[in-house]
Structure 1
Amino acid sequence: MTAGGRPRNPALDEAIILATRARLVRDGYSRMTLGDIAADAGVSRPTLYRRWDTKLELVADALDYGFRKQRDQYDIDIASLDPREAFTEAVRRLDPAYFNPDAMVLMGNFAGEVIHTPELLEMLRQHAVEPRVTLLEDVLAQLQQRGAVSEGIDAHTIATMCFGSYFGAFYRGESREDIPDSVVAVLWPVIAA
């Protein structure tokens, strides 16, 4: 129960969260308004303000909503995969759009806000970037333990390069579909034991 004694309606909460996520992509953080979000969600402004004191708090919850839905998909069971296939699958999951087709636009919007609202980029780093690159680093460590990948590799740099390949393709207007196979074709001969 909330302070007023009435239980919160989870359907309203989700409608507001989904409206916020859509506005973040469409308008970006600075241009979106709480009034627009309330209208999109079909709720009144007081309904929105009873749940969140500030736009930043609402955005934090909207991002967390997406991150929670994605979190379980970060893990890869590589035991049954050929080492190169495991590496390819980890590179595939680095794709920001693997879980959310609007992620590249959202990340660009947040990068554009870094001067005014640096907290947004930090949220993105913590919840969307680091879990992905850590996944690849962990897969590389497991492949090292299996003797499939050289001990002397720089997993951090490899993960950063692989993650950046998606942004490079996005800004060049290229398809991201072939990135995992293309990146692995270049890197695997260098890192394989």
Structure 2
Amino acid sequence: MVVDFGRPRDPRIDAAVLSATVELLAETGYSSLLVSAIAERAGTSKPAIYRRWPSKAHLVHEAVFPIGAATELPDTGSLPEDLHEMICRSMAFLTTPAARAALPGLVGEMAADPSLHSALLERFAGVIGGGLAELLERAAARGEVRHDVPATALAAQLTEAIAGITLIGLLTRPDELDDTWVDRTTTLLLKGISA
């Protein structure tokens, strides 16, 4: 058993730091974002931030892409409806001002540091690996999903496809990411995974 004799983390500091990070990202962009500025705006210190997050990238990832209601998988009992909702949520997640400001820097840092990439993916491991695979297994049992690809592999590929299509859309035609785009993307992805 591990006994922690230090002070417990103050959730108010966590919330203030995450909020300050989102605000400053939208104001300055990722490359100009300073941990000292985040600390000042949050009313804390740089050491307090680094005790909670090992790097600026980890902090930004958690601030911009929080795990919560938005990352919970829909389960309507219909694969087309579930996929449509996942694409809507991904689009909403990736088109916030903070996400738009953070993504270029985060992508660059993840490409340069494979351990960072692994750590950031671990945050969503339960959503991607477990929850989505289970949802796809239920869809397969209803005859909606092809059986020749294991659900865990299909979950990973589907996650990559949704994120990839959304990111490329943001880069090439950000003004066209709307309900029509979501419908077309849903149709396209369903054709690839349907039974």
TM over 0.5: yes
CA apart distance, 1:171: 0.9
Superposition pairs for residues 1-193 of structure 1, below 5 Å? 3=6, 10-24=11-25, 26-28=28-30, 31-43=32-44, 45=45, 48-50=46-48, 52-53=50-51, 56-57=54-55, 60=58, 63-64=61-62, 69-70=67-68, 73-79=71-77, 82-93=78-89, 95=90, 97-98=92-93, 101=96, 102-114=98-110, 117-128=113-124, 131-132=127-128, 135-153=131-149, 155=154, 156-174=156-174, 175-178=176-179, 179-189=181-191, 191-193=193-195
Count of equivalent residues: 184
CA apart distance, 1:172: 0.7
| 3-state DSSP of counterpart to 2:144 | coil
TM-score (norm 2): 0.67
Residue type of the partner of 2:142? R
Long gaps (5+) in structure 1: none
TM-score (norm 1): 0.68
User: Structure 1's 185 and 133: CA in aligned 2 closer, same or farther, altered over 3 A?
Assistant: farther
Residue type of the partner of 1:85? E
| 3-state DSSP of counterpart to 1:103 | helix
Checking the alignment, whether the CA contact within 8 Å between 2:79 and 2:144 is kept in structure 1 is yes
Q: Find the aligned partners of 2:130 and 2:94 in 1 and give their Cα distance.
A: 16
Show CA shifts across 1:18-48 (max 9, x none).
22344455342x54333212222244x4xx4
Long gaps (5+) in structure 2: none
| 3-state DSSP of counterpart to 1:56 | coil
- RMSD across aligned positions (CA): 3.8
Identity %: 20
Checking the alignment, whether the CA contact within 8 Å between 2:65 and 2:93 is kept in structure 1 is no
